[in-house]
Amino acid sequence: MSFEQQFDAIENEITEEGDAPPFFSRPGGKIFIIWLVFTAIGVVIGVFAPHHLLPGLQSGTGSDVWATIVFFTVLAAPVAAFVYALAFYSLLAWRPKKSGSSDEPPPDGPPQRGNGPLTILWVGISTLLVIVLLVWGMTVWSSQQVAHDGALQVNVTGQQWLWTYEYPGTGVTSRTLELPQDRPVEFNVTALDVIHGFWLDTMGIQTDANPNENTVIRTTPTTLGGFVVRCSQLCGLNHAFMNNKGSVVTPTQFGNWLVSQGATTSAAAKSADVPESSLTPSSTSTTTAAPMNTGASQ
């Protein structure tokens, strides 16, 4: 007896009717309808939920990540919906009718073996889905690995329990991350103690900060505004407090910020890639490190 014949026999037995009912009145048809509904719900959630659950976007990398999440969710929706539909229908339709009664659950269906077309179908669909996801993921990933000439270098150091950011060539090290708009940035990420996770969710980038290792991650901020840098690896006692504010500003504002942090106007202009004349010299004098245990003054 073929699989279809076995399945029909079971369905007929369940429905207790001699003639096979219409497809949508049989369990298979009902599961199919439930699957369609669940798939539609999953697709709607996949398309619209990110607008409510994901942070705002401040870079092309973030847009790529957003699109990837939506695409993967939509592709996964029919698969998940099939599992849920099957479970949902089974729990409702094939349960004992009365709690505590002596009704026995219906007999198990026949083993799903020896059905070549069905096997080819699910293996084929699974393979196709995985290949599509792999190609999509590798394409997005490789697009983020492209180095840009003239990218702003930022040395990111994680330690328990603070991030510090060094801007090479300016002498500026800060605990806040300032980035110029529309300028490629290369983050050189490392750690001083344990493994931390450098995570800018609005930029769509995250990488581990490993001791004695330099990991490069790139993005191009496109949207002005603030963001939060978080540690994404559980790193110890005050991990929960290991976050700080950052912001994307115009190149001129970025240059002026470097000056306010102690950089010379020439170094700031070079780093910000703006004319030196566009920067405002800092009105506040920078503090100078005092030597150790010397120069007592009352």
Partner 1 sequence: MADPEKSQEDERKSPAFGVVATLLGVFAFIVAVGVFFSSQYYTSPSGTVVAQSLGTTEVNGQSMPHVALNFQTYPNSTGSRNAQGTGPGSVPVHSSGSDSWPAYGMSNVFQVPAHSLVTVTVHQYDSGGPLNNPWFSKVHGTQDGTATVTTPDGTSSTVSSWDQNNIGHTFTVRGVPGYDPNFFLSVPLPTNADLPNNEGSASNQDNGQSYTVTFSFISGGKGTYAWNCEAPCGQMVAAFGGVMSAYGFMSGFIHVV
- Residues engaged in binding partner 1 (CB under 8 A): 99-100, 157, 159-162, 164, 173, 175, 192-194, 211, 228, 236-238, 240-241, 243-245, 287-298
Closest approach of partner 1 to the CB of residue 99, in Å: 6
Closest approach of partner 1 to the CB of residue 22, in Å: 37
- Paired with 139 in beta bridges are none
User: Are 268 and 170 a contacting pair, CB within 8 Å?
Assistant: yes
DSSP structure string for 209-277: E-BT--EEEEE-B-S-EEEEEEE-S--STTGGG-EEEEEEE-HHHHHHHHHHTT--HHHHHHHHTS-GG
Closest approach of partner 1 to the CB of residue 286, in Å: 9
Closest approach of partner 1 to the CB of residue 199, in Å: 14
Whole-number Å distance between alpha carbons of 199 and 245: 12
Closest approach of partner 1 to the CB of residue 177, in Å: 13
Q: Which is nearer to partner 1, 146 or 296 (CB)?
A: 296
Q: Which is nearer to partner 1, 115 or 155 (CB)?
A: 155
Q: Which is nearer to partner 1, 116 or 295 (CB)?
A: 295
Q: Which is nearer to partner 1, 45 or 192 (CB)?
A: 192
User: Are 81 and 39 a contacting pair, CB within 8 Å?
Assistant: yes
Whole-number Å distance between alpha carbons of 298 and 288: 18
Q: Which is nearer to partner 1, 159 or 222 (CB)?
A: 159
Closest Cα to residue 187, out of 140, 154, 149?
Answer: 154
